[in-house]
């Protein structure tokens, strides 16, 4: 397959159970595109076909920079539908999960992912398959990175999923109620998945050893993820948030993705603050060591240390303080009269001595 409609195909980007995604090029606009095509074995299945087209409509309807935009749709000669969307070239969060990026970077990306999912929730859509691989990274011309959602293959309207049994998704990140089908799904199923993604981004692995749906169903309902705050030098609230977000009972989870994003931001700020304080302690310790080696150079500590833990650049040590200026001592008026009389007497004596010499 060399072309789909007016789009020239370059290479296959990936294939799933229901569709294949190709990297293409729009010669008319001279831009790269991603072309998603329904798999041949599902072309005759009306339910899968409708789901495929619903994904394109959802992505087209939601106008937000966190959701990949769909701008064309069509049908191949064999009857398979396809749609064309923007190509996101920054990889996925799963690439970074394998690389084990710094915890503060991971928390920032996960908070951004929460905000992207919140856009879906605001539009009454549940994603149902939030994984690091489905959260793409886009970089603008300035180099700034944002998290973008591109795969809504199993996303459904909140109205459509009410009271239905929905088990589509990835087991390692799937909410228990989604796996068991015992309860109606709402946005808290995605919040469970977002928490699992956060845990995986911070540790490299999902929170529970799950291989299939049966592992979820038979899991201890009171099981909690292994604590990670201490080894990440993070506050205890991180472990508490993981326990809450991964709770079996949806009512114990954060109610919205926006609130989860805010909690992750707060933990990230705390880690950064601890790092700055640790750096300040290190500098102060080395300064004290230096002063011990040179006891004649004493430093005066400020009464109130700066909040960032480092000495302020404008605070000079005591031995560098400027010396006080000498003040002129005031004299009485009689002193100046005596000086003038003495000067006059010296002048008169000089004049008399000169006259005597000339005679």
- Written as six digits, the tokens of 119 are 């856009």
- Read off the tokens for 342: 């003495």
**Are the C-beta atoms of residues 198 and 187 closer than 8 Å to each other?**
no
* Three-class SS state of 120: helix
CB-CB contact of 111 with 264 (8 Å) = yes
Catalytic residue IDs: 129
Do 63 and 52 form a contact (C-beta atoms < 8 A)? no
**CA-wise closest residue to 60 among 50, 70, 49, 48:** 70
CB 280 within 8 A of CB 308: yes
Task: Look at residue 202 and give its three-state secondary structure.
Answer: helix
Q: DSSP state, 81?
A: E
Q: What sign has the CA pseudo-torsion 76, 79, 85, 91?
A: negative
Q: Which helix (H) or strand (E) holds 288?
A: helix 257-293
Angle between helices 103-122 and 187-203 (to 10 degrees): 170
Among 105, 120, 114, 131, which Cα is nearest to 262's? 114
Residue 72 tokens read as 């064309």
Phi, psi angles (nearest 5°) of residue 332? -75, 160
């Amino acid at each position: 397959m060399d072309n789909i409609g007016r789009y020239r195909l370059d290479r296959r980007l990936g294939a799933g159970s229901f569709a294949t995604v190709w990297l293409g090029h729009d010669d008319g606009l001279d831009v790269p595109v991603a072309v998603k095509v329904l798999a041949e074995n599902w072309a005759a299945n009306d339910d899968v076909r409708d789901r495929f087209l619903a994904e394109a409509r959802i992505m087209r309807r939601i106008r937000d920079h966190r959701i990949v935009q769909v701008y064309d749709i069509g049908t191949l000669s064999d009857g398979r539908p396809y749609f064309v969307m923007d190509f996101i070239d920054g990889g996925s969060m799963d690439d970074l999960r394998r690389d084990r990026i710094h915890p503060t970077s991971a928390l920032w990306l996960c908070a951004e992912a929460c905000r992207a999912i919140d856009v879906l929730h605001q539009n009454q859509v549940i994603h149902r398959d939030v994984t690091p691989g489905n959260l793409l990274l886009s970089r603008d011309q300035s180099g700034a990175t944002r998290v973008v959602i591109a795969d809504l293959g199993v996303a459904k309207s909140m109205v459509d999923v009410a009271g239905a049994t929905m088990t589509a998704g990835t087991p390692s990140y799937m909410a228990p109620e989604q796996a068991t089908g015992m309860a109606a799904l709402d946005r808290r199923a995605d919040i469970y998945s977002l928490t699992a993604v956060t845990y995986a981004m911070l540790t490299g692995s999902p929170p529970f050893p799950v291989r299939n749906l049966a592992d979820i169903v038979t899991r201890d309902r009171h099981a909690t993820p292994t604590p990670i705050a201490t080894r990440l030098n993070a506050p205890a609230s991180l472990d508490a948030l993981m326990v809450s977000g991964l709770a079996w009972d949806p009512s114990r989870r954060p109610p919205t993705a926006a609130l989860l994003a805010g909690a992750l931001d707060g933990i990230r700020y705390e880690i950064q603050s601890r790092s700055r304080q640790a750096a300040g302690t290190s500098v102060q310790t080395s300064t004290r060591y230096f002063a011990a080696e040179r006891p004649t150079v004493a430093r005066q500590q400020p009464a109130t240390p700066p909040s960032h833990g480092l000495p302020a650049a404008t605070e000079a040590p005591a031995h560098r303080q400027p010396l006080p200026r000498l003040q002129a001592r005031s004299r009485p008026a009689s002193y100046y009269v005596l000086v003038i009389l003495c000067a006059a007497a010296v002048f008169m004596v000089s004049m008399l001595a000169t006259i005597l010499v000339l005679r």
